[in-house]
Structure 1
């Protein structure tokens, strides 16, 4: 698996498809902290939201990097389509980890916050950024070309879902009573925004439940995707 992940990353880096999303995030980070001081968690909430979309961009371009022929060759060498796509997921998360470190540590380094930042604050920030990134990866997998070749409509639908998932807390307020359940199917990224909207965050059961819920949701989406990929491959093999 290590060699496969390494191959995926090297192939993707040679393509330079990562340059626009990574450059955009880096530029946004540097510009966002031009004016100081800034509130700690509110600032991290915004960087989480931006990273959510950047992660989706990276996921789509990395997963779609190989054409059908190259994907088949890679799968033959890896002896598993699941291993191929799992290595792509891991590859995205590795790339995102560098952006997470930038998002969390850069404002601390330049003293951009209105108060000193504790190790607990850093831990919460890193966890929040990782969870929303993992969620972005898991959701975006279903909008790769393995399911649809209609690029524009696929991108638009993905962006719409990501936006709704971020603001679904506000949407619930405008829905008729008893209809709030329709928002349950959307990714729980709003929960991260809700956590980071607080001035201080304390360790409690609700915080732990929120993080476990998001991790479980993203993990379930990813596992389901891998299972569906395997079933689709088996149908193509025997059709």
Structure 2
């Protein structure tokens, strides 16, 4: 699996498709923390929401690096559709994890190292949970399921927006709302983490079934 992740990361790096979302996120951090940092958790709510979108963008970018023929070769070397998708998901998680660490570290530096370690840990977890939601939502919108780029972008934009803003859907919105109000109770963190993990597993399995049926 490690070799597969390295291969997928190399593909993403060589294609340079990671540059727009990553530079967008870094630009947001630079602007958002340009005048110093306010309270830790509300700031993390903003950058975690941005990371959700960036993670979804990276997921579609990585999937669509390969055409149908290349994807078939990768699947053959991986051994199964599930392993191929797992490698893709873990590769994006590596990128998102790096951006999550960067986001929390940037807020700490901008605050003059005034934020509590507890707030930083909660913020880091919030970023990772949002990144997982972004991957889970974007994977079914990628070229593995939706072949036309325009439809893929529209579907991903709609689902990511719903994930971020829909109060009636307990995905990322409750966590982001809690962070923005400087209140993130442990039960909500656990619930959001488990929900994100379940959504990612379900998304990966459903996409794997879809790809298998197509071939």
**Shared fold per TM-score greater than 0.5:** yes
Q: 2:179 aligns with which of 164, 183, 196?
A: 196
The answer to whether the 8 Å contact 1:4/1:87 transfers is yes
Instruction: Give SS of 1:65's match.
Output: coil
The answer to whether the 8 Å contact 1:38/1:112 transfers is no
C-alpha distance in 2 between matches for 1:125 and 1:167:
19
C-alpha distance in 1 between matches for 2:80 and 2:4:
11
The answer to whether the 8 Å contact 2:132/2:200 transfers is no
C-alpha distance in 1 between matches for 2:66 and 2:58:
14
Quote the residue 1:13 is aligned against: 13
* Superposition pairs of residues 64-103 of structure 1, within 5 angstroms: 64-103=64-103
Quote the residue 1:41 is aligned against: 41
Q: Establish whether residue 228 from structure 1 lines up as the match of residue 211 from structure 2.
A: no
1:158-185, Cα deviation, whole Å (9 max, x unpaired): 222222332223xxxxxxxxxxxxx33x
Q: Which has the larger radius of gyration?
A: 1
C-alpha distance in 2 between matches for 1:77 and 1:66:
14
Instruction: Give SS of 2:82's match.
Output: helix
1:77-114, Cα deviation, whole Å (9 max, x unpaired): 1111110110000000101111111110112113368x
TM-score normalized by the length of structure 2: 0.91
C-alpha distance in 2 between matches for 1:236 and 1:137:
22
Which runs of 5 or more structure 2 residues have no equivalent in the other structure? Answer: none
How far residue 210 of structure 1 moved from its aligned partner, in angstroms, is 2.1
Q: Give RMSD over aligned pairs.
A: 1.9
